[in-house]
Chains A and B, each alone.
Chain A
Amino acid sequence: MNSPDGGEWDPFDGISYYGGYGASIAAGQSYLGSFGGGGGGYFSTKYSIRFATDIYNRNGLIRNLNIPLPYIASEKVWISDPVYYFTAPTSSILSTPLTPVSWLNEPIDNIFPEGGSLASGDRARGIVPEYLRRCGMCHNPEGQYYDALAGYREAFPIMVAGIMGFASEGLMYFGLTVKGVGLSDDIARTFSRRSYQKLVLEEPLTLSRYYDNVNAFAKGRYMTNPYSLTGFRFSDRMGLALRPQWNGMTKVANWNLPIGTTVYQGRAAMQFPWIGGRTQYFVPNLTNIQRVIR
């Protein structure tokens, strides 16, 4: 499919909508089905419909909207500059109009202000899929690389889990992400600040991993969320802190983890010069996981 700009644009490759409430925000795995861009709508994957909708791109949570998904799902495509700028009309996904901004020069809060919400009837005109997809790892004006969305990705699970203390669906998030206890330090130090949380899955979970069949194989203990893979190898290598000698990252394997599987979740620790910061899972027991062919 071509975008209005004439470039390739896969509607399933950009923004995803996740719904839910309470701690399910943190999980964001409550998959109910998919819908494409019928009638020109370029919204990609639809997740559960409850009392709120979370907008994810492949790199993580962008924002939570206090509106059920159907209001958004019926909307049409929004045309944008797919490179480094985007604009939104007055009736935008945010409550205030956006003007062209440069991602690299603007703080993320200027682009997605806190408190922005979608009133009923507003038109959820989108956010640039192609644009956001390549922004998992940006560099600031000083030239330092950083994960522009990391704060959002971390803040919501922590906030929701801390306040609500329960989950209605998806993974259960109890407590805050704090320095983990239980894992040997050999594994703990592969998580940023040795912070991780132990999760016992109450619903199946699909995770992905890069491999090259030379140094890293399809089956392995370190995985990440499928939607966090941008497809840009350098960006993913940077975010997942995968040294080239560990993993050529030529292939991606998806694995389904059944209910009851114990996983440890945190953020990848820096393996200098690969800075890490993306969500990383450590799966101690690989016996029961099933390969998912997509």
Chain B
Amino acid sequence: MRLKITGVSFTTEEDWIFKLSDGYSDFYVLSEASYKSIGLKSPIGKKELDSWDVGYSILCETSEFGGQQVVIKII
């Protein structure tokens, strides 16, 4: 699905790095530690951290973990 970035957080205050939306629900690209805790590998790297910003839209796959919609793959 295509999601639009609505928020970024590079600090340890949040467990997510990018907050995204499809217009109805919120989705999250989590921190690497958070992905690790649910047994997944972070789908983003330095390249995405470099350029992704609010307003940017991405194609991705998502899944629900603990009531939170999480991006699991960037297409």
Q: Which residues of A contact B (CB under 8 A)?
A: 182-187, 189-190, 215-217, 219-222, 245-247, 271, 282, 284, 286
Contacts and interface: CB of A to CB of B under 8 A. Distances in A.
Interface residues of B, number: 19
Interface in B44-65: 44-47, 49-51, 53
Given A216-B51, A217-B51, A220-B50, A183 B8 contact: no
Nearest to B32: A186
Contact of B33 (A182, A183, A185): A185
B12 interface: yes
A184 B50 contact: no
B47 A284 contact: no
A207 to B, nearest CB: 13
Report, nearest first, the 6 A-B pairs whose CB atoms are least far apart.
A220-B50, A246-B47, A284-B10, A184-B31, A222-B50, A186-B32
A185 B15 CA distance: 10
B8 A271 contact: no
Contacts of A221: 49-51
Given A186-B10, A190-B49, A284-B8, 19 more contacts: A182-B12, A183-B11, A184-B9, A184-B14, A184-B32, A185-B32, A186-B17, A186-B49, A187-B10, A187-B49, A189-B32, A190-B46, A216-B51, A220-B50, A220-B51, A221-B50, A246-B45, A271-B46, A284-B10
B21 interface: no
21 contacts: A182-B11, A183-B10, A184-B9, A184-B11, A184-B12, A184-B32, A185-B31, A185-B32, A185-B33, A186-B42, A187-B10, A189-B32, A190-B46, A216-B47, A219-B51, A222-B50, A246-B47, A247-B47, A271-B46, A282-B10, A286-B53
A221 B45 CA distance: 13
B72 to A, nearest CB: 16
Interface string B4-46: 0000111110100100000000000001110000000010111
A186 B44 contact: yes
A187 B18 CA distance: 13
A246 to B, nearest CB: 5
A184 B34 CA distance: 11
A185 B16 CA distance: 11
